[in-house]
């Protein structure tokens, strides 16, 4: 599946045009996570659909969802901007950025420099770079470019091998462990435990995918995660405020 996504992405990049420059107030993802009042800071995701789950949320108003997340006290918001496989859009991110006061991360398959520039122009505070989708040298280059443009980067890895390749180049400030294998979609929280043992102490760890309950948040936080990236389990709930409270505190306060 990852290979299929990257093939489509290459075609999209050929047609990519850059939007006009606008000014946005910047917020730091790193600090939002590091200063979280919870066991781990929450990056809540705005995601309508995915290749593994199909449509996740029918009633999908990205700005309303992000606004509810912000009011519920999340530390950051991740916005899927890939259209073809996730039914996202880059305009969702810009519209969301205008109404929330927390950092906004662009979730897409970034493989070329022009997409990093695009991310800055649409108002992202941070971007995702996927270890499994990039040669380590290229990943490092895009990482440096992002920080030069004032963007932070969540460097995501799934496997030990990818982590080793990344670390041979540089130490990411924010390191995401994807519990989901993007080739097979198999998802297990123990991936965070295995990978945390190999991660540098200087990197802020984020556990991504397959987190459904407060017990899951507690578990990955015990493994060393300082942040969690949660999409599906929140997207399937009607009341996002209550869902965030329950996920992060284990207590349901109606
Ligand atoms: O919906 P979940 O299982 O809570 O997962 C969220 C997030 O981790 C997932 O959407 C994701 C992680 N890495 C990605 C890379 C591309 C697209 C999506 C992703």
184 in helix, strand or coil?
A: coil
Average pLDDT, whole number, for the chain? Answer: 96
Q: Whose CA is nearest to atom 9 of ligand 1?
A: 209
Q: For residue range 89-105, what is the model confidence (pLDDT) as tens digits?
A: 999 999 999 999 999 99
Q: Is residue 134 part of a domain?
A: yes
Does an H or E element contain 231, and which? none
102 lies in a domain? Answer: yes
The pLDDT, as a whole number, for residue 120 is 98
What is the Cα–Cα distance from 11 to 109, expressed in whole angstroms? 12
Local confidence band at 234 (pLDDT 50, 70, 90 cut-offs): very high
Average pLDDT over residues 32-53: 96
Number of Cα atoms under 13 Å in the Cβ half of residue 83: 10
Assess if residue 143 is contained within a domain: yes
Any ligand 1 atom below 6 A from CB of 230: yes
Confidence (pLDDT) at 58: 95
Ligand 1 centroid from CA 6, angstroms: 16
pLDDT band at 254 (very low <50, low <70, confident <90, very high): low
Instruction: Give the pLDDT confidence score for residue 253 in this predicted structure.
Output: 66
Does ligand 1 have an atom closer than 6 angstroms to the CB of 178? yes
14: in domain: no
Atom of ligand 1 nearest to the CA of 109: 16
User: What is the DSSP-derived secondary structure letter of residue 239?
Assistant: -
Tell me: pLDDT of 206 over 90. yes
pLDDT band at 191 (very low <50, low <70, confident <90, very high): very high
Residue range 49-69: mean pLDDT, rounded:
96
Q: How far is the CA of 97 from the centre of ligand 1 (A)?
A: 20
- Cα 94 to Cα 50, 81, 82, 118: the distances in Å are 21, 10, 14, 11
pLDDT in tens, 126-164: 999 999 999 999 999 999 999 999 999 999 999 999 999
How far apart (Å, rounded) are the C-alpha atoms in residues 157 and 164?
A: 10
Identify whether 28 is part of a domain.
yes
When computed from its CA atoms, the radius of gyration of the chain, rounded to whole angstroms, is 17
Query: 176: which 2 tokens?
Result: 């995401």
Kindly report the CATH number assigned to the domain that includes residue 233. 3.20.20.70
pTM of the model: 0.97
Give the residue, out of 178, 188, 191, 227, with the most ligand 1 atoms within 8 A of its beta carbon, to mutate for a pocket test.
178
Give, for ligand 1, the residue of 76, 111, 115, 209 to mutate: max count of ligand atoms closer than 8 Å to Cβ. Answer: 209
Specify the 3-state DSSP secondary structure of 115.
helix
DSSP 113-175: HHHHHHHHHHT-SEEEEEGGGS-HHHHHHHHHHHHHTT-EEEEEE-SHHHHHHHHTT---SEE
Query: Does 77 fall in a domain?
Result: yes
Q: Is residue 15 part of a domain?
A: no
Q: What distances in angstroms separate CA 79 from CA 68, 76, 88, 216, one per listed residue? A: 14, 10, 8, 22
Q: How far apart are CA 217 and CA 219, in angstroms?
A: 5
Mutation test residue for ligand 1: of 55, 212, 229, the one with most atoms within 8 Å of CB: 229
| Closest ligand 1 atom, residue 45 Cα | 6
C-alpha span between 95 and 91 (Å, rounded): 6
The answer as to whether 16 is a domain residue is no
Mean per-residue pLDDT for 59-67? 97
Number of compact structural domains in the chain: 1
- Does any ligand 1 atom lie closer than 6 A to the CB of residue 229? yes
Q: What is the pLDDT of residues 66-86, one digit of tens each?
A: 999 999 999 999 999 999 999
- Could you tell me which residue, 148 or 1, shows the higher pLDDT? 148
Residue 173 belongs to domain spanning: 2-7+24-249
In short, whether 70's Cβ falls inside 6 Å of ligand 1 is no
For ligand 1, pick from 1, 85, 106, 107 the residue to mutate: most ligand atoms within 8 Å of CB. 107
ipTM over 0.95: yes
pLDDT score for 250: 93
């Amino acid at each position: 599946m990852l290979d299929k996504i990257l093939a489509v992405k290459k075609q999209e990049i050929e047609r990519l045009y850059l939007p006009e420059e606008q000014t946005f107030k910047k917020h730091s993802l790193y600090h939002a996570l590091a200063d979280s009042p919870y066991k781990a800071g929450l990056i809540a995701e705005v995601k309508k659909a995915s290749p593994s789950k199909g449509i996740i949320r029918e009633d999908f108003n990205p700005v309303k969802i992000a606004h509810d997340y912000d009011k519920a006290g999340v530390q950051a918001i991740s916005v899927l901007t890939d259209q073809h496989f996730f039914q996202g859009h880059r305009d969702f991110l810009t519209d969301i950025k205008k109404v929330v006061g927390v950092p906004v991360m662009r979730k897409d398959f970034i493989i070329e420099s022009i997409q990093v520039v695009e991310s800055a122009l649409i108002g992202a505070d941070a971007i995702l770079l996927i270890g499994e989708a990039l040669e380590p040298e290229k990943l490092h280059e895009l990482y440096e470019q992002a920080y030069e443009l004032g963007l932070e980067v969540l460097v995501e890895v799934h496997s030990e091998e990818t982590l080793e390749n990344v670390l041979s180049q540089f130490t990411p400030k924010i390191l995401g462990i994807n519990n989901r294998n993007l080739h097979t979609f198999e998802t297990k929280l123990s991936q965070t435990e295995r990978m945390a043992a190999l991660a540098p102490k200087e990197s802020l760890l984020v556990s991504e995918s397959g987190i459904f309950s407060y017990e899951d948040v507690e578990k990955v936080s015990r493994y060393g995660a300082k942040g969690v990236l949660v999409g599906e389990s929140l997207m399937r709930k009607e009341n996002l405020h209550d869902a965030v409270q329950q996920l992060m505190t284990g207590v349901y306060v109606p």
